[in-house]
Amino acid sequence: MKETIKVDQVQVVLGGKAVLEDITFSVSSGELTGIIGPNGAGKTTLLRTMLGLVPIRKGQLEVFGVPVSRLKLVRPRIGYMPQRKSFERRFPLSASDVVAGGLLTPETLLRPVSAKNEKIKKALQFVAMERYHNQPFQDLSGGEQQRILLARSLVRQPELLLLDEPNAGLDFPAQQSFTELIQSLKRERNLTVLLVSHDLMSIASAADKLVCINRTMHIHGHPADVLQSPSLDEAYRCQFDLISTFDKGGSRS
């Protein structure tokens, strides 16, 4: 199967500190891969390296066979849904306005995008939210807002979808509904999906593969194998060991 993402011994240094080190895995076309690990593990940074937003210090990273130094060539083929942030209430954005933001580029920034744009309509249809196109975004429920933000990342009809904690802050039924939507879109549109999540059980049931990191690479494989691996315990234990060290002495030993 063709590889969409290839990460080989990648190291990322920010502020003089290595936040990712020796990260190696690959994602095949059409796979849904979950990225798991404790808080501060570098999961968001990993996604941002795949967009060319964070430079790598060492190693190799390719998306669609294109090296990280030339990612701008394939960026239109990548959809990205960052962690949800509040929209300014003083600006009454409709659902369509939010989706339209996904069409903006440096070249089109000064040209308004019509809410009647056919790509916006299709993106809303993909997530079953077309009837809400004129609704104020802030009036929607958390689950509905996530679907609109997903439509925003789909509006260019990408081949690769990067999702950063899309279920954060949602109640359990909304989480289930959103995960099922992602699985459906993956099948129907043959999307390759990379999804960061803290919910191990939910992502394990949905993903084809899991990648567990905590600054360094711990394990990559089938969800059942990852969940039963001692490497998973080690990845999460690192966080608790660090907390314990601070609690005892107030500084790292």
Domain boundaries, the chain: 3-87+159-249
| Contact predicate 4/64, CB 8 Å | yes
Q: Which residue has the higher pLDDT, 1 or 235?
A: 235
- The mean per-residue pLDDT over the stretch 80-89 comes to 73
- Sorted by sequence, the CB contacts under 8 Å of residue 88 that are 6+ apart come out as none
For the packed helices 172-189 and 142-154, what is the interaxial angle rounded to 10 degrees?
20
Q: Which residue has the higher pLDDT, 115 or 144?
A: 144
pLDDT at 249: 45
- For 46-50, 57-61, 171-175, 184-188, which range has the lowest pLDDT when averaged over its residues? 171-175
- Report the DSSP pairing between strands 58-63 and 3-14: antiparallel
The rounded mean pLDDT for the chain is 86
- For 47-51, 89-93, 229-233, which range has the lowest pLDDT when averaged over its residues? 89-93
CATH of domain 3-87+159-249: 3.40.50.300
- pTM of this prediction? 0.87
pLDDT at 165: 92
Percentage of the residues of the chain whose pLDDT score is greater than 70: 86
Q: Which residue has the higher pLDDT, 164 or 247?
A: 164
